[in-house]
C-alpha cells in the first residue's frame, strides 16, 4: 500500500496470459458506502452525474460502459469517496454499488481479419490503483493523482548532475496538461480540475520576459501582471492558454507534408508499395 497526500492507495499489477477469444476480463470493487455521484476523467476535464439516477440540475449519470481518461471517482452519500486510477485502461461501469474497471476485451478478429492488437494471446501486464479518501471532492486532488500515477518519476543513473527543482508550480485547482516551445514563446495549456470557479495561481521558474493569456491559437493576448507568479480568474473546467515571451526564438515549425524523412532509407521503397496481403480498417484494407 502506498499513500498519496495521506490517502491510502492500493496498487495492482495484474498479469494475464492467453485469454480465450471473446472474453471480457474486469476488476470489480464492491464499495460499502453508498455512491451518490460518479465522475470520470475526459481530455481536458471531467464529466459527472448523480448515481444511480439523474437528480435535479445534475442531469447526467454513468449509464453503461463509459470511457475514462486516467481516473474515475465515486463520491459517497456520507462524505469521502474512492477513485480508480489506471494506465491505459479506459473502460468503466457501475453495477449497483460496485465500480468495474475493464481490463481486457479479447477479440481475435476484426472485420473478418486477424487482429493481434486486440487478441488475448500472449502476456498482458495491467496496472491500476484504488485510492480512498475522507475529504470532500475539492480537497481530494483526484485529477492530480491520476496524472501522478501515469507519470511516475524516472530515475536515470550516470547522467549529468543538476539541482532537483520544479519548473512550474500551480494552485490545486488547475493542472498543466501541455507545454511546448513555439518560435519566441513557451506555451502552457492548463485546465481547471475541480469544476469550481476561483483564482488560479501559476509560478513559472523558466527564463521569460512577460506572460499573457491567449486563445487556443495563441492569439488575442491579455497581459498578466507580476512574475514569476501569476494569478488570474478561472471558470469551472475552463481550458486556459498561457504564453510566455522569451528572449530568443527557436524558429518557425514547418508542417510535415511527407513521411519520407521519417523512414530509414532502406525501408523507403516499401513506403509507397502496395501489399494486398496487408489488411487495414476500415473498410477492408
pLDDT digits (tens, 9 = 90+) for 85-134: 999 999 999 999 999 999 999 998 887 788 888 888 999 999 999 999 99
Condensed to tens digits (0 to 9), the pLDDT of residues 150-160 reads 988 777 777 77
**What is the average pLDDT score of the chain?**
88
The pLDDT, as a whole number, for residue 81 is 96
Q: Is the pLDDT assigned to residue 204 strictly greater than 90?
A: yes
The pLDDT, as a whole number, for residue 285 is 43
Q: Is the pLDDT assigned to residue 135 strictly greater than 70?
A: yes
Torsion (CA) 87, 93, 98, 101 in degrees, nearest 10: -20
The pLDDT, as a whole number, for residue 5 is 65
253 — pLDDT class (breaks 50, 70, 90): confident
Residues with Cβ within 8 Å of 279's Cβ and at least 6 positions away in sequence, in order, are 113, 114, 285
Condensed to tens digits (0 to 9), the pLDDT of residues 258-281 reads 889 899 999 998 887 877 766 665
- Evaluated on CA atoms 140, 127, 174, 49, the torsion sign reads negative
The pLDDT, as a whole number, for residue 55 is 65
How far apart CA 70 and CA 283 sit, in angstroms, is 31
User: Which spans in the chain are helix H?
Assistant: 137-140, 142-150
Decide: 166 and 160 in contact? Cβ < 8 Å: no
Domains and CATH numbers, the chain: 2-150 (2.70.98.30), 168-245 (2.60.40.1180)
Q: Grid coordinates in use for 102? A: 475493464
Q: Which residues pair with 40 in a beta bridge?
A: 47, 72
The pLDDT, as a whole number, for residue 15 is 95
The pLDDT, as a whole number, for residue 1 is 57
Condensed to tens digits (0 to 9), the pLDDT of residues 60-87 reads 567 788 999 999 999 999 999 999 999 9
How far apart CA 29 and CA 37 sit, in angstroms, is 16
Amino acid at each position: 500500500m502506498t499513500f498519496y497526500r495521506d490517502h491510502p492507495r492500493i496498487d495492482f499489477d495484474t498479469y494475464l496470459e492467453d485469454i480465450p477469444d471473446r472474453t471480457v476480463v474486469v476488476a470489480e470493487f464492491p464499495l460499502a458506502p453508498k455512491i451518490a455521484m460518479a465522475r470520470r476523467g475526459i481530455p481536458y476535464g471531467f464529466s459527472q452525474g448523480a448515481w444511480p439516477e439523474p437528480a435535479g440540475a445534475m442531469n447526467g449519470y454513468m449509464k453503461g460502459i463509459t470511457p475514462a481518461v486516467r481516473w474515475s471517482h465515486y463520491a459517497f452519500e456520507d462524505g469521502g469517496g474512492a477513485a480508480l486510477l489506471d494506465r491505459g485502461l479506459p473502460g468503466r461501469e457501475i453495477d449497483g454499488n460496485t465500480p468495474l474497471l475493464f481490463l481486457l476485451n479479447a477479440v481475435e478478429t476484426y472485420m473478418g481479419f486477424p487482429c493481434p492488437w486486440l487478441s488475448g494471446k500472449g502476456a498482458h501486464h495491467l496496472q491500476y490503483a484504488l485510492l480512498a479518501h475522507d475529504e470532500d471532492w475539492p480537497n481530494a486532488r483526484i485529477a492530480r493523482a491520476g496524472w501522478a500515477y501515469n507519470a511516475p518519476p524516472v530515475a536515470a543513473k550516470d547522467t549529468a548532475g543538476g539541482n532537483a527543482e520544479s519548473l512550474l508550480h500551480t494552485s490545486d485547482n488547475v493542472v498543466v496538461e501541455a507545454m511546448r516551445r513555439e518560435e519566441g514563446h513557451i506555451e502552457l495549456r492548463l485546465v481547471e480540475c475541480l469544476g469550481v470557479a476561483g483564482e488560479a495561481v501559476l509560478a513559472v521558474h523558466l527564463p521569460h520576459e512577460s506572460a499573457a493569456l491567449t486563445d487556443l491559437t495563441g492569439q488575442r493576448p491579455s497581459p498578466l501582471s507580476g512574475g514569476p507568479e501569476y494569478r488570474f480568474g478561472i471558470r469551472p473546467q475552463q481550458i486556459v492558454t498561457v504564453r510566455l515571451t522569451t528572449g530568443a526564438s527557436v524558429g518557425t515549425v514547418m508542417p510535415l507534408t511527407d513521411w519520407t524523412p521519417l523512414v530509414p532509407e532502406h525501408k523507403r521503397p516499401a513506403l509507397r508499395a502496395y501489399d494486398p496481403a496487408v489488411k487495414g480498417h476500415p473498410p477492408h484494407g
